[in-house]
Amino acid sequence: MLERELDWLDAQLADGRRFLVGDNFSRADISVNGGVVRVVGKQARIGMT
């Protein structure tokens, strides 16, 4: 599931934009970043990376 979500994120940013919504850093970017960090960190702690 994580791989599918990261593929979606890559596709959203594939056109060269830096942010998910608009031209500025937004709550969407913060939310995605926080979620990815949380999941990847949890996997690293239990040896799933």
Res 47: pLDDT: 66
% of the chain beyond a pLDDT of 70: 82
Q: Residues 24, 34, 3, CA angle at the centre, nearest 5°?
A: 100
In angstroms, the CA 38 to CA 9 distance is 16
Domain map of the chain by residue range? Answer: 2-45
Return mean pLDDT, the chain. 82
Looking at residues 20-49, what average pLDDT do you find?
A: 80
Question: Do residues 30 and 24 make contact, with C-beta atoms less than 8 angstroms apart?
Answer: no
Residue 27 pLDDT exceeds 90: yes
Global pTM reads 0.60
